């Protein structure tokens, strides 16, 4: 099976970082395409050494200075989380030649643990970038990644039928199933979850029985796009609330979920303070909740939540692939007013509502108008994102925006 390379929008940011920093660290979930990207960008200049094989790990651990002399810069060390003990010695090498950029490129698939070690050892010496599964724009082979509210040139993605949209949602956005449409995506997802549990979860926490963690993962998937009630979740799975909190941090650290926090502002309203959880990949989300065909996914009780998950994960990934940390929140008052996404920009707050209906109606803009009234000049024009084909005004300051224009 021939590998088909899908160009990544992080590429120019990664090249720039390698030109400006002695080291670059690329983190992201397992199988998001980190090694493939580095081979395409730097394969001719940099040897790529994986630290996952046990013999390489042993060599790096037993004699780190000797190992770095054997594999001198410039070099890519893949899966650095398997040999974090190398980081202080990489720092030593960098400091011996501090003015030289692009010496080391490191990849890793675990965030919190790895980042604390990188921060400690390579502070000021390394740029940290995140490569997630593919965005919709990358899948469509589009060059730009501008959003409609940025007043920059932005092209539309190809239009798709509802069936094509849900086929894409079920297949997900990991490079392997996307670039090989003939492969059984469900089988790939099953294998991915098993590998993820056996490798990443065991590495991040010493969990004896992974069965209950898998039950937790499925229970969390069923709550995607909802405000998270940790007590209810813990009770349903049969674990302590602190364990549930700990397990969510594992999923976040390994890039499987996105935590959306509420937006706070002093406007005299009582706000909901719990986060919402979304899955990075809609294919894995659908696999975990047992959805296998487009009809059940689209028309089932989770249809709206899955579509919302698609939009939010795509926004999130697009910002990361621009080299930016996403400033994304949701807004909900105790009285029940809610806006699905608030994007904080330098110009103000962009409110977005996400609706599965293919027919935009004026009432869909009600919450956006309420938000704009509350936040006055700080609120920018809002959008209702929906799976249709026509841009339509929904009252002053709100536009119905087809998903393929996002």
SS3 295: helix
Cα distance between residue 225 and residue 214, in whole Å = 19
Task: Domains for the chain: give ranges and CATH numbers.
Answer: 11-130 (3.40.50.300), 137-405 (no CATH)
Q: Output b/e per residue, 176-201; b: 16+ Cβ within 10 A.
A: bbbbeeeeebbebbeebbeebbebbb
- Here the tokens at position 44 are 């001719």
CB 378 within 8 A of CB 267: no
Q: Identify the pLDDT of residue 29.
A: 93
The pLDDT confidence band at residue 301, using thresholds 50, 70 and 90, is very high
Cα distance between residue 22 and residue 127, in whole Å = 9
Among the listed residues 34, 37, 41, 43, the one whose alpha carbon sits nearest the alpha carbon of residue 15: 41
State yes or no: pLDDT of 1 exceeds 60.
no
Cα distance between residue 403 and residue 406, in whole Å = 5
- The secondary structure of the chain in percent helix, strand, coil, rounded to multiples of 5, reads 45, 15, 35
pLDDT top residue among 14 and 332: 14
CB 198 within 8 A of CB 30: no
Tens of pLDDT along 196-247?
877 777 766 666 678 889 999 999 999 999 999 999 999 999 999 999 998 9
- Here the tokens at position 331 are 């807004």
- Here the tokens at position 136 are 């919709």
* Percentage of the residues of the chain whose pLDDT score is greater than 90: 79
- Here the tokens at position 34 are 């980190």
State yes or no: pLDDT of 30 exceeds 80.
yes
Among the listed residues 346, 362, 357, the one whose alpha carbon sits nearest the alpha carbon of residue 398: 362
Cα distance between residue 35 and residue 43, in whole Å = 10
Cα distance between residue 391 and residue 276, in whole Å = 28
Q: Identify the pLDDT of residue 270.
A: 62
Cα distance between residue 200 and residue 190, in whole Å = 15
Q: Identify the pLDDT of residue 156.
A: 81
Provide the whole-model pTM: 0.94
pLDDT top residue among 367 and 210: 367
Cα distance between residue 323 and residue 307, in whole Å = 25
Q: Identify the pLDDT of residue 203.
A: 67
The pLDDT confidence band at residue 261, using thresholds 50, 70 and 90, is very high
**Residue 201 has what DSSP assignment?**
I
ω into 74 cis (within 30 of 0): yes
* Percentage of the residues of the chain whose pLDDT score is greater than 70: 95
- Here the tokens at position 380 are 């920018």
- Here the tokens at position 158 are 């190809």
Mean pLDDT (the chain) is: 92
Helices 241-253 and 210-221 cross at an angle (nearest 10°) of 80
Tens of pLDDT along 106-122?
998 876 667 778 878 89
Among the listed residues 334, 335, 338, 328, the one whose alpha carbon sits nearest the alpha carbon of residue 370: 338
- Here the tokens at position 83 are 């040999």
């Amino acid at each position: 099976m021939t590998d088909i390379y899908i160009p990544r929008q992080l590429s120019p940011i990664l090249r720039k970082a390698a030109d400006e920093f002695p080291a670059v660290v690329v983190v992201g979930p397992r199988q998001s395409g980190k090694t493939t990207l580095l081979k395409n960008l730097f394969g001719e200049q940099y040897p790529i050494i994986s630290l996952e094989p046990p013999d390489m790990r042993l060599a790096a651990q037993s004699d780190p200075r000797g190992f770095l002399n054997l594999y001198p810069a410039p070099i890519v060390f893949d899966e650095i989380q398997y040999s974090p003990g190398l980081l202080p010695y990489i720092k030593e090498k960098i400091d011996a030649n501090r003015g030289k950029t692009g010496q080391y490129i490191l990849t890793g698939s675990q965030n919190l643990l790895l980042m604390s070690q990188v921060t400690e050892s390579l502070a000021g010496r390394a740029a940290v970038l995140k490569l997630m599964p593919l965005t919709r724009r990358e899948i469509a082979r589009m060059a730009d990644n501008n959003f409609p509210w940025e007043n920059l040139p932005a092209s539309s993605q190809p239009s798709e039928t509802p069936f094509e949209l849900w086929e894409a949602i079920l297949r997900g956005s990991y490079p392997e199933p996307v670039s090989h449409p003939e492969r059984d995506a469900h089988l790939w997802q099953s294998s991915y979850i098993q590998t993820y549990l056996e490798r990443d979860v065991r590495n991040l926490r010493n969990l004896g029985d992974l069965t209950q963690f898998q039950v937790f993962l499925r229970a969390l998937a069923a709550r995607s796009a909802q405000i998270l009630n940790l007590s209810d979740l813990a009770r349903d799975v049969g674990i302590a609330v602190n364990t549930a909190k700990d397990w969510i941090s594992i999923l976040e650290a390994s890039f499987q979920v996105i935590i959306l926090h509420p937006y706070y502002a002093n406007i005299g309203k009582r706000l909901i303070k719990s986060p919402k959880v979304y899955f990075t990949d809609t294919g894995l989300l659908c696999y975990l909740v047992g959805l296998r065909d487009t009809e059940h996914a689209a028309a089932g009780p989770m249809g709206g939540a899955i579509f919302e998950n698609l939009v939010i994960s795509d926004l999130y990934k697009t910002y990361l692939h621009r080299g930016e940390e996403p400033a994304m929140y949701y807004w909900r008052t105790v009285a029940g007013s809610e806006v699905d996404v608030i994007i904080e920009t330098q110009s103000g707050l962009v409110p977005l509502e996400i609706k599965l209906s293919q027919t935009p109606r004026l009432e869909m803009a009600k919450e956006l108008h309420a938000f704009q009234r509350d936040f006055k000049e700080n609120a920018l024009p809002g959008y209702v994102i929906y799976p249709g084909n026509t841009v339509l005004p929904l009252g002053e300051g709100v536009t119905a925006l087809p998903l393929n224009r996002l």
